[in-house]
Chain A
Amino acid sequence: MSVIYIVLPLALVLGGGALAAFLWAVRRGQFDDLETPAIRVALEDDHRPVERRGPRPGP
């Protein structure tokens, strides 16, 4: 059972890592709008609201 001295801190570190990831996502604004991304998935086509570098050709 003395493995608990390794396993418990390890579990806490992993939990801390998950928390860090969560904090990062919140600070980047990923939790600001929870409705529209859900709708975007339901829309057809390969449309991506990503910034593109360089000029885009017309339709």
Chain B
Amino acid sequence: MQFSAPRAADRNATSSPPADAAPRTTVCAHCGLSVPAALLEPGAEQQYCCSGCRAVRETLLAAGLVDYYELRARFDDSAARAEARSSERSYAAFDRDVFQAEHVRRDGPLHRVDLLLEGVRCAACVWLVERLPRFVPGVKSAELRLRDARVSVVYDPTALRLSEVAAKLHSIGYPVHPARSEVQRELAKRAERKLLVELGVAGVCAGNAMLVAFALYSGASGDLEDNHAALFRWTGLALGWLSILWPGQRFLRGAWAAVRTRTANLDLPIAIALVAGGLAGIWNTVTARGESYFDSLTVLVFLLLAGRYVQARQQRFAEDAVDLTRALTPVGCRVVRSGAGGAATVEEITVEELTVGDRVLVRAGEPFPADGVIEDGRSRVDRALLTGEAEPVAVDVGDAVHAGSQNVGGELRVRVTDVGDASRIGKLMGLVQEGLAEKPPIERFTDRIAGWFVGTVTTLAAVNFAVWVWLAGLAPAIDHTVALLIVACPCALGLATPLTLAVAVGRAARGGLLVKDAAVFERLARGGRLLLDKTGTITRGAPALTAWRGDASARGAVAALERASAHPVARALAAALEPDAVPGVRATDVEERLDGGIRGRVAGRDVRVGSLEHLAGRHLRPTAELAAEARALEADGATVVGVALDGCVVAIAGLVDAPRDGARAALAALVERGFVPEVLSGDVQGAVARVAREVGLDPDVARGGVEPEGKLARVRALAAAGEPTVMVGDGVNDAAALAAAEVGIAVHGGAEASLAAADAYSSRPGLAPLVELVDLSRLTLRTIHRNLGLSLVYNGVAVAAATLGWVDPLVAAVLMPISSASVLALALLSIRRRAPRPA
């Protein structure tokens, strides 16, 4: 079957096809990533990088959907490729009543459910997912929304179960997650629709008011009969007040709130203009004299609402994107129930249904669904997201485990002691809520100048009124003052600022930075205290191979052996030693010890890898020089493992959770931009100080052993001292601090709790995106300042004209679009075209 091969982005830049490789290409037939040497099958036409990719491609072939590859090559121009996850997941929890009550809606005799899909990237995915009804009988329709990877599936519950629907979606390459936070989503959707409705009404009023005003302008030279003029005026009045009272209500309420709390925001001058112009308009229409400005007022309302609508849409885009990442936590868990006669059965239920005292089975690679005590089994637990510890911790019967940590070793049976809010993670989430509630609001630039603006304009208006009363009497004074209030309205600023922010949000999103609240830009441009987490933020979060001493020929064998384990050290070794792996060679008889070692047979030789203590326990000792090298590496802070081939220790490897590439440069750049960094970590002090030194920070600002509550306390202490902070982190242990900080930024790979608590999320690893965000913030703020300058020029000219009595409705109607359009153009051009440069 002819199809264009997917474009390949090589994951291992250093790998090249070994000299004796049989296949022509070493990229996966499904995802295009390079195939690890151990999985190459000589002679096979299609190679796959993993069983997941193989399964998906075979499913697509069987269902006759291979056109997908052609469409993908056409539509997907991103270089990001990912392997398909294997379909071993069971979705049985989806059929539980608890789950169905929350997520499934009735649609006549059918069921409708919203699900979030992983791996959705481009139009080809839309094509593939929406063809679900064609090859799954019972599914009536599937509608995918590309922006947030949400699919709405309608299916017949009598024909198939929800778990089967989910399994089918997974089988074509899209793992399924339930859609979360329905209530908030509904509210956001309704608010956006309301804004759109108001925008429509404002548009209708503005358009018709302009037509009516045009008639008045045309007839102003005197050819217009009084009756007809009255008709136009009254119509203009009706449209104007409809606009003020319905869509314009937003500004009136905002202004009223400002008056009540004695603060200022930009709604205040807008509301003044609307009310003054509206009231004067009523008077002038009823007395059939003077000018009415309803066309300018309705256009003002329309333009301002348009700006807000665009900004609201952009922000919802960023929030939706974060939603999916948040959903990556388990829904189901396996609970052991004792049946009649003592026979134990394993049932899959939702996490919500767990109660204290239940016994759950947690396999390797799965997260723990609740806090508990181990009843059976030994394993290692990765607590990086919970506490910041870089290395998995060995656990045995009787040890406590916590929800949110990952089981890395073998299957465990755990007796549940705390669920939901009572678990450690639940308590942390409580802290997050507290932090969010007490969060200091970021001062917005436009609100700051609004007060000054209102004061100046009202003073000028009062003076103007007094002078004109003295010069020409009451009626002209009223006319000229109303004209002044209307043209002095900061339409340009009120329109340009939300648009500038909207463009900035969109720009950030294209760079993988999702900003939930545009005020973040204003805060980041100012610099200040920067609190950083260590594990996963500054460092990679997992150990990497940094040193190999001894026999280099053992590298290939170790690569083959370590493929079989999910331990972070194993993964690091497998990835680093991949170039030395012999294609097609796998390890057999693999046995992984939970006290830190793994052994197996590779190409006829007995290979054992483990800590030196572990090897010593089996009478395998390194030579004196290797031992000395090992001690030297450990003194530097590395974890050392020994490699034994056929009963003899031939090499040692040093692994370190190293700082990410570019971390040092990024931190230097941040310091240059006015940030004062500090490192707070749950890991041991020694490791934290070492990392701080490596990235160029003073070890004094690095503190280890900090509990989540400690991070929160530090944020609060700094805020109380008048130094609101920017916090950057990824783990659950950072979430409370992220919530309480003035700006919280969650980084790539973050836990759900962090993503919920943060104001911005970086979907790319490392600190470099942070620097980009700061640069973008500064550019945005500069643009907003420039807009302010320009709009002040217009306002100045307009106010001067108004005081001189030159402004009539026609002049006002012309001035307003000119000022708005120029400010808009400035905003769009500065941020869209120019790449952010360090100022």
Which A residues are CB-close (under 8 A) to B75?
Answer: 39, 42
Contact between chains at B204 and A56 (CB < 8 Å) = no
A44 CB, nearest partner CB in chain B, Å: 8
Overall SS of chain B's interface: helix
Contact between chains at B146 and A26 (CB < 8 Å) = no
Q: Apart from A26-B197, A36-B126, what are 15 other A-B pairs with CB-CB below 8 Å?
A: A8-B231, A8-B235, A11-B208, A16-B204, A23-B197, A26-B196, A29-B193, A33-B147, A36-B147, A44-B67, A47-B130, A49-B143, A55-B138, A56-B137, A58-B137
A41 CB, nearest partner CB in chain B, Å: 10
A10-35: which have CB < 8 Å to B?
11-12, 15-16, 18-19, 22-23, 26-27, 29, 31-33, 35
User: Can you list 6 pairs linking A and B with CB atoms under 8 Å apart?
Assistant: A8-B231, A12-B235, A15-B204, A22-B197, A47-B130, A59-B64
Task: Given A35-B147, A58-B137, verify A49-B142 contact (CB < 8 Å).
Answer: yes
Which B residues are CB-close (under 8 A) to A5?
Answer: 231
Of chain A, the residue at the smallest CB distance from B134 is A59
Give the one of B63, B134, B142, B189 with max A CB within 10 A.
Answer: B134
Of chain A, the residue at the smallest CB distance from B196 is A26
Measured in the bound complex, the distance between the Cα atoms of B127 and A47 in whole Å is 9
B159 within 8 A of A: yes
Of chain B, the residue at the smallest CB distance from A42 is B123
B160 CB, nearest partner CB in chain A, Å: 11
B647 within 8 A of A: no
Contact between chains at B146 and A39 (CB < 8 Å) = yes
Contact between chains at B126 and A39 (CB < 8 Å) = yes
B165-212: which have CB < 8 Å to A?
189, 192-193, 196-197, 200-201, 204, 207-208, 211-212
B569 within 8 A of A: no
Of chain A, the residue at the smallest CB distance from B317 is A35
* Contact pick for B137, options A8, A12, A19, A57, CB 8 Å: A57
B140 within 8 A of A: yes
Please tell me the number of chain B residues within 8 Å of chain A, measured between CB atoms. 44
Contact digits for B446-462, partner A, Cβ 8 Å, 1 yes 0 no: 00000000000000000
Measured in the bound complex, the distance between the Cα atoms of B154 and A59 in whole Å is 18
B285 CB, nearest partner CB in chain A, Å: 15
Task: Given A15-B208, A49-B141, verify A59-B126 contact (CB < 8 Å).
Answer: no
Which A residues are CB-close (under 8 A) to B140?
Answer: 51-52, 56
Task: Given A57-B137, A59-B135, verify A18-B130 contact (CB < 8 Å).
Answer: no
Of chain A, the residue at the smallest CB distance from B225 is A1
Give the one of B67, B71, B123, B192 with max A CB within 10 A.
Answer: B123
Which B residues are CB-close (under 8 A) to A45?
Answer: 127
B758 within 8 A of A: no
Measured in the bound complex, the distance between the Cα atoms of B200 and A35 in whole Å is 20
Task: Given A12-B208, A47-B127, verify A59-B63 contact (CB < 8 Å).
Answer: yes
Of chain B, the residue at the smallest CB distance from A39 is B123
Task: Given A49-B143, A56-B133, verify A23-B200 contact (CB < 8 Å).
Answer: yes
Task: Given A31-B196, A42-B123, A43-B123, verify A18-B134 contact (CB < 8 Å).
Answer: no
Measured in the bound complex, the distance between the Cα atoms of B200 and A58 in whole Å is 45
B614 within 8 A of A: no
Which B residues are CB-close (under 8 A) to A58?
Answer: 135, 137
